[in-house]
Structure 1
Amino acid sequence: MTPELLTLFHVLTGTLCVAAGGMAFLAPKGKSIHRAAGSLFLVSMLATALSGAVIGLLEPDRLLITAFAGLLAAYLVLTGWRTARWRTHRPGAFEWTALAAILVGLAGLATLAVMALQTETGRLLGFAAEDYLLLAMMTAMGAVADLTLLVRGTVSPRHRIARHLWRMGLAYFIAVGSFFTGPGARIFPEALRESGWLSLPEGLTALLILGFLARTLFKRSRRHPGAAS
């Protein structure tokens, strides 16, 4: 596949991912439309994340960060999907493997952030140190939550829902950001890009996810004290 076709594939699957993810979040939970949209979101998110990672590896001088963003997004949707399919509410070899993979990504992001901070401009390979640090913080959040879960060895049904929700939600937030204010924004007219309106979907997505998560945690805190991992 040529770089042009790979980029087109990445944009198309990213568009599908944003649409399917929005439908999955807004649809009644547990209904067939939610499950169908969720499955479509999973497949399209993996496709756009992995293609984005490949693009980043092919053009490391200006897009290396997308390789790490792709790894993080794939990790989030896979562990979120896995959580929803648990039958015993106990983690296993899959979670240990996912933790090892994301720790490698975290080490890479931390290294790039330090290298960027040591430059005169505070930038490295086209991105600021803050960009690497933000992605590293998201990655660390997932790693710490996984490690906590693996140490505990089990999770309550309500904690399982919260874990599924925040992981899928964060992956969707990354997809929306990439589409509206990241590389995907190139499909919009320049006037619209410079207006600031394309930042609105990102903020609304964050509020939507936080609202669902807060409601879940509030109900859970009354019946099952503890933090979700």
Structure 2
Amino acid sequence: MNILMAIHIGAGLLALPAGTIAVAVRKGGRLHARAGTAFFGSMVVLGITAAILGPFREPEPLSPVAPLFVLYFVTTSWVAARRRDGSTGRFEILACAAALGTSAVMYWGVVMDGATTPAGPGVIYVLASVCLLAGLLDLNAILRSPLTPARRIARHLWRMCFAFFIATGSFFIGQQDILPAAWRGSPALLLLGFAPFAVMAFWLARVRLGKRLRASLQALPERKLA
């Protein structure tokens, strides 16, 4: 367990700078690709080790569902980035079934069995809803295959940014006890924790709206010179 914990911590320390570089540099370049690969690998290790360590946590064991979320989001995002032709296949079908099935189990658990968390059942509802949304978007991608470049990149972006939020939120918000006492409860930590959502909104707007705006400008009639 000590070895797994060391690996888990090391993966987390790598994921934060790698994810920051990936979202900050020019997209499609060599640095972006290398940082994204490092982020993907570290998040996979982080998710696997967290899923193993969580149930043995004391005094409150943790569910392995959240770490499995990490694996789901980074792998589906990674595959979307690799499939430049926008195609989908068996992997997306399995991912869709896993997301929708997990969402159904979570809703069933909280409604029928009274499942809850230390923060209340609302956390489960939120996770189940995100899982349901991701599964429905998987289904949409399967039905609309092959995806246009904009849709493929958007699929890659929002899933990778959501996985990045899990990393930043877990560290800056969920692990404040390991930070200096003067930093704990600081609004800056909340901003850092939720920063991936701002990055997600910026890049999604640029990908989905930027091309339309350029096309609209090109379609304008040229002004004739007197």
TM-score range, shorter chain: 0.7 to 0.9
The corresponding residue for 2:139 is: 147
Q: 1:125-136 alignment to 2 at 5 Å?
A: 125-136=117-128
- 1:19-51 CA-to-partner distances (Å, cap 9, x unmatched) read 100100001111111010000000001111111
Q: Which amino acid aligns with 2:91?
A: F
In 2, Cα distance between equivalents of 1:59 and 1:196: 28
CA contact (8 A) 1:178 1:185 kept: no
Preserved contact between residue 181 and residue 199 of structure 1 (Cα < 8 Å): yes
Give how far 1:102 is off.
2.2
Q: Secondary structure at the match of 1:128?
A: coil
TM-score normalized by structure 1? 0.84
SS in 2 for 1:194: coil
Count of residues in Structure 1 that have an aligned counterpart in Structure 2: 215
**Conserved in 1, the CA contact under 8 Å of 2:88 and 2:142?**
yes
Give the aligned partner of residue 196 of structure 2. 205
Higher RCO, Cα 8 Å, sep 6+ = 1
Q: Do 1:23 and 1:34's aligned partners in 2 also have CA atoms closer than 8 Å? A: yes
- Cα distance in 1 for residues equivalent to 2:191 and 2:159: 21
Counterpart residue identity of residue 201, structure 1: L
Which runs of 5 or more structure 2 residues have no equivalent in the other structure?
216-226
In structure 2, relative to structure 1, the CA distance for the partners of 1:87 and 1:124 (3 Å cut) is: closer
Match of 2:116 in 1: 124
Q: Report deviation, 1:52.
A: 1.1
Give the deviation of 1:58 after TM superposition: 3.3
Deviations 1:85-144 (A, max 9, x none): 11432210111111222233223322343368x4xxxx7353411111121122112101
Worse overlay, 128-137 or 55-64: 55-64
Residue 131 to residue 191, structure 1, CA distance change in 2 (3 Å): farther
Q: Which residues of 2 match residues 157-196 of structure 1 at below 5 A?
A: 157-182=149-174, 184-196=175-187
Aligned to 2:207: 216
Does the CA contact (< 8 Å) of 2:171 and 2:193 recur in 1? no
Which structure has the bigger radius of gyration?
Answer: 2
* 1:89-104 correspondence to structure 2 within 5 Å: 89-104=86-101
Contiguous gaps of at least 5 residues in structure 1: 225-229
Structural RMSD (CA): 2.4
Identity rate of aligned residues, in percent? 33
Q: In 2 relative to 1, CA 202–84 (structure 1 residues): closer, same or farther, beyond 3 Å?
A: same
1:145 offset after TM fit, Å? Answer: 0.2
What's the CA shift string for 1:126-165, capped at 9, x where partnerless?
A: 3411111121122112101001111223211111111111
Distance in structure 1 (CA, Å) of the matches to 2:157 and 2:187: 28
